[in-house]
């Protein structure tokens, strides 16, 4: 499912997956930096929404339901210029039609880089 997607383009790897929790990594490199050499805020948001999306998908009935991002916000609290960032997402609310996920992104020294909250829509698949 990763081939030819944004995950592949940005080097995002899912490293841990359990019901209600997802961990993923992303390199800080030429694919994810902005022109001034800092991790691009959009790359952090893409990582955060990826974690929420993967996590939400694990909590639905895959035969009858799908998920999609409905809303996301992010606070970029510290810059980083190199290495790997890690996103840890946990479900805060699991409802019938929405889920809310909390995502914290840290650098290699476990310093908070970004905190995000993502609301996922839970949709019924059409037969």
The CATH number of the domain holding residue 71 is: 3.10.129.10
Residue 1 lies in a domain: no
Query: Is there a catalytic annotation at residue 49?
Result: yes
Q: Which two tokens stand for residue 51?
A: 């974690």
Residue 96 lies in a domain: yes
CA distances from residue 14 to 86, 103, 115 in whole angstroms, order as listed:
10, 14, 18
- Whether 11 shows a pLDDT value over 90: the answer reads yes
| From 49, 58, 63, 71, the catalytic residue | 49
- Whether 123 shows a pLDDT value over 90: the answer reads yes
Assign 66 a pLDDT band (cuts: 50, 70, 90).
very high
Give the alpha-carbon dihedral of 3, 6, 9, 13, to 10 degrees.
Answer: -70
Averaged pLDDT score across all residues of the chain: 97
What value does the mean pLDDT take over residues 16-26?
Answer: 98
- Whether 91 shows a pLDDT value over 80: the answer reads yes
- Whether 127 shows a pLDDT value over 80: the answer reads no
What value does the mean pLDDT take over residues 24-45?
Answer: 98
Looking at residue 26, its pLDDT comes to 98
Assign 17 a pLDDT band (cuts: 50, 70, 90).
very high
**CA-atom Rg of the chain in angstroms:** 14
Please classify residue 88 by burial: count the beta carbons closer than 10 Å to its beta carbon, then call 0-12 exposed, 13-18 middle and 19+ buried.
Answer: middle
Residue 117 lies in a domain: yes
Residue 107 lies in a domain: yes
Total of domains in the chain = 1
- Residue 47 structural domain: 6-124
Looking at residue 7, its pLDDT comes to 96
């Amino acid at each position: 499912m990763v081939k030819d997607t944004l995950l592949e383009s940005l080097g995002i790897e899912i490293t841990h997956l359990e019901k209600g929790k997802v961990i993923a990594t992303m390199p800080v490199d030429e694919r994810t930096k902005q022109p001034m050499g800092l991790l691009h805020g959009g790359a952090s948001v893409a990582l955060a929404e990826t974690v929420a999306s993967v996590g939400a998908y694990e909590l639905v009935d895959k035969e009858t339901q799908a998920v999609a991002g409905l809303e996301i916000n992010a606070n970029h609290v510290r810059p980083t210029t190199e290495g790997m960032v890690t996103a840890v997402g946990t479900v805060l609310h699991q409802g019938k039609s929405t889920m809310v996920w909390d995502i914290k992104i840290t650098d290699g020294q476990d310093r908070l880089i970004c905190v995000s909250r993502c609301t996922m829509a839970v949709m019924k698949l059409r037969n």
